[in-house]
Structure 1
Amino acid sequence: MDWREFLGSIISNASERDRIATEIGVHSVTLSRWVSGESSPRPHNMRQLLRSIPKQQRNQLQSLLEKYSSDVSDFEIDTSEQEIPYKFIMEVLDARASIPDLLRFWSITRLVLQQALRQLDPEGVGLAITVVRCMPPRDGKIRSLRESVGLGTPPWGGDLEEKALLLGAESLAGHVTVSCRLEHIGDLRANKTFLPAYQVEHEVSAVACPIMHACRVAGCLLLSSTQIDYFAPEARLSLVRGYTNLVALAFNPDEFYDPEKIALHIMPPQKRQQTFFDGFRQRVLKLMQDSSRSEKRLASPEAEQLEWQQIESSLLDFPPENRTG
């Protein structure tokens, strides 16, 4: 018996086939194609397949897979990877307690995103994670969201902060921030209702989870993957929720807003926004230099926020006919 035959005997039970497919994050028909030989799993799919198989069958399937691919012999099937390590949680709490206010947001979000990227994309198949935060209210309402700290693995660049944009009601992040509910899209090619943050040629699935505190919202954690249904497994969604709760520790209490204050506008697309961000860093430095001659000197985060607010004003005044395409 080879591995395809053995897998076929396991998934002959329809409910078990559906369970395994959901755990892996593929369609059940994909499992049938692996069994028939029409297609073959990639290395990260093999690892997920082994994790999803009951323990009493896992060793035999791994032995059969090793005959098919030498990579399998290096797999360490550790189901504890489905949980955020306790040691890391304590590291975040220590940072929350000890880091000065001015550095807390950047330090904690970078710390959490680095760990989340390692755990959610151990095979490097392609993942982007971004913290999206509410812009300060205008006339008592939140009109847009700001992408801030972001990290990714290829095809995304490592640091996504330089590509940050303002998002609105047209975006997946906007929809989730308004509804205060996690939302994931298994195939962006089939569902184009809401757009994620960084659209690249190989982007296929996305998930966003609201950043909450005491029934108030500060934005969301936004993730995009190159794989179809990558966020379908409940264990992976649980990790997304957990990392989102850790990111919430980076925010001040006054950065969380009552949901009724969220009234997002539709923001122009990336190519139309880009001209407003040209020279962003130079304008921030000028604000800081100018403030040095006044009584209140601006720190870098404060100057950046003022510049973001100026860009938001320009984009909100953008003619409606130029908000698409």
Structure 2
Amino acid sequence: MHKLASWRELLDSIITTPAERERIATAIGVRSITLTRWVKGESIPRPQNLRQLLHALPRDYQDQFQELLEREGWLSPLSVEAEAVLVEKISFTFVNEVLDTRATTPDTLRFWAVSRQVLQHAIRHLDPEPMGMAITVVRCMPPGSDGKIHSLRESGGLGTRPWESNLEHQAMFLGAESLAGYVVTSGRPATVQNLTDDTMFLPSYRADYEMSAVASPLLYANRIAGCLLFSSTQPNYFGQTSRLMLIHGYTNLMALAFEPEEFYPPELIDLPVMPPLEVQRRHLAHFREYVIDHMRASTQTKQPLTFIQAEQQAWQQIEDILLHLPPE
């Protein structure tokens, strides 16, 4: 077996597949081409980049990668130990970066740009090892014909293994059966330290790999737009006060991604129990068909929809179907 002589050789062997290269790049907040340049020596990573890269690699490679970094003088053992200590505050530099993004991004891209920026920073900060975490943006669906909000929708997120790095396509509708539904209804954060505990009093839908979870409400002027849902593979992962304070801070930053009209008065929240995921999947599978149908129909009325508007109507169509399904 060929013994790898440098961290660049090891990284080169790890990022041979585009999917893994993209996953690692997303996890550390760089473009995939940057990893290739590091491998070729065309660009020199900063020590902070290397520490992030170390934690983003598959666990089977982390010890070897760290050993190569230390042997070549790129990283000292003390710097890695210091990185493992949870930083209890969000830096003002990052807060200012988010504010700049919000101030300079066009309306149509603002939600994506700000949410992506916050999610990437949060998941690196809260799961530096990484041990396995998912952060999901849960949004209120628009009010129905009765003026009430009857469901929430997962609308993207980021994860570290065993979750996929991009959670956008894993959307589902949530209601009173979920921790997110409880938090949006109450307007207060809630934590479940062990989702396998049958004696817990909070409602919670347990996703794959999830052992503990926190939901934190997205608030503005005493109105609510949804919540941020944090899930961990580790029980009791959210027991530290410092970690909960970070979650509160990142939730406040995420609220900047929303427009004021996307926040609703608490009295409009009226969530029923939504059908289980296996039932929802049968209808979510037709999402793209519904989008195309709405766009085609709009051209006939001489009021063509944008793609985003057509998607929103498709989500509302699926929501209406799910809300009116007979009990199984």
- Write out per-residue CA displacement over residues 189-240 of structure 1, whole angstroms, 9 at most, x where no aligned residue: 00564224x611x321000000000111111000100011111101100110
Q: Which residue of 1 aligns with 2:104?
A: 98
Unaligned 5+ segments in structure 1 are: 1-70
- Write out per-residue CA displacement over residues 43-78 of structure 1, whole angstroms, 9 at most, x where no aligned residue: xxxxxxxxxxxxxxxxxxxxxxxxxxxx97563325
- Describe how 1:192-207 pairs up with structure 2 within 5 A: 193-196=202-205, 199-200=207-208, 202-207=209-214
- Cα pair 2:150 2:175 within 8 Å, conserved: yes
- Describe how 1:10-159 pairs up with structure 2 within 5 A: 75-77=80-82, 81-138=87-144, 139-159=146-166
Q: Which residue of 2 aligns with 1:42?
A: none
Alpha-carbon distance, 1:294 to partner:
4.4
SS in 1 for 2:82: coil
- Write out per-residue CA displacement over residues 62-110 of structure 1, whole angstroms, 9 at most, x where no aligned residue: xxxxxxxxx9756332567221122111111011111111111111111
1:221 and 2:228 matched: yes
Q: Which residue of 1 aligns with 2:308?
A: 301
SS in 1 for 2:229: strand
Q: Which residue of 1 aligns with 2:14?
A: none
Residue type at the aligned position of 1:93? L
1:172 and 2:182 matched: no
- The alignment's C-alpha RMSD in Å is 1.9
From 198, 205, 208, the equivalent of 2:215 is 208
Alpha-carbon distance, 1:124 to partner:
1.2
Q: Distance in 2 between matches of 1:92 and 1:289?
A: 37
Q: Distance in 2 between matches of 1:285 and 1:82?
A: 46
Alpha-carbon distance, 1:287 to partner:
2.7
Q: Distance in 2 between matches of 1:284 and 1:269?
A: 23
Q: Distance in 1 between matches of 2:233 and 2:137?
A: 19
1:235 and 2:213 matched: no
- Cα pair 2:156 2:169 within 8 Å, conserved: no
Q: Distance in 1 between matches of 2:173 and 2:291?
A: 17
- Cα pair 1:131 1:220 within 8 Å, conserved: yes
Q: Distance in 1 between matches of 2:79 and 2:96?
A: 30
Q: Which residue of 2 aligns with 1:58?
A: none
From 265, 279, 292, the equivalent of 1:272 is 279
In structure 2, the CA distance between the partners of 1:111 and 1:288, relative to structure 1 (3 Å rule), is farther
SS in 2 for 1:237: helix
TM-score relative to the length of structure 2: 0.72
- Write out per-residue CA displacement over residues 234-270 of structure 1, whole angstroms, 9 at most, x where no aligned residue: 1100110001001111111111111111010110010
- Cα pair 1:106 1:149 within 8 Å, conserved: no
Count of paired positions:
249
Residue type at the aligned position of 1:132? V
- Cα pair 2:151 2:173 within 8 Å, conserved: yes
Q: Distance in 1 between matches of 2:319 and 2:149?
A: 11
SS in 2 for 1:77: helix
Q: Which residue of 2 aligns with 1:29?
A: none
SS in 2 for 1:82: coil
From 250, 256, 263, the equivalent of 2:270 is 263
Q: Distance in 1 between matches of 2:305 and 2:232?
A: 37
Q: Distance in 2 between matches of 1:80 and 1:129?
A: 18
Unaligned 5+ segments in structure 2 are: 1-75
State the identity %. 51
In structure 2, the CA distance between the partners of 1:85 and 1:285, relative to structure 1 (3 Å rule), is farther
Residue type at the aligned position of 1:136? P
TM-score relative to the length of structure 1: 0.73
Q: Distance in 2 between matches of 1:280 and 1:249?
A: 28
Q: Distance in 2 between matches of 1:222 and 1:252?
A: 20
Q: Distance in 1 between matches of 2:296 and 2:107?
A: 22
Residue type at the aligned position of 2:207? Q
SS in 1 for 2:100: helix
Q: Distance in 1 between matches of 2:77 and 2:204?
A: 36
